[in-house]
Amino acid sequence: MRIVEDYLTDRGRRRQRTVSVELDAIRGEFAEPTMVDRSDWGRIRSELVRIAGESTFEIWLAQLELLATDETGCLLLAYPRRLARG
């Protein structure tokens, strides 16, 4: 899979570059969400509704699912497979 990565150059400038990512390697760094993670995701969703508005949230964000987390608190989110393929 290819993603766009933000990085800092040697001169301190922010840039973007496209990089290849091995999904199996990344999956190994994540764990199943705990009950606490799911509770946190619920609070994040509520805040997104507040910020984006109910209509925008329903159109763009409501279908996002919490798939996994890592030890730093990073959340791995995705649309259900049936939606991701368009």
By the 10 Å C-beta count (0-12 exposed, 13-18 middle, 19+ buried), 69 is classed as buried
pLDDT of 56 reads 96
Residue predicted with more confidence, 13 or 21:
13
pLDDT of 76 reads 87
Model pLDDT for residues 40-75, shown as the tens digit of each residue: 999 999 999 999 999 999 999 999 999 899 888 888
pTM: 0.66
Closest by CA to 32, choosing from 81, 61, 65, is: 65
What's the mean per-residue pLDDT of the chain? Answer: 88
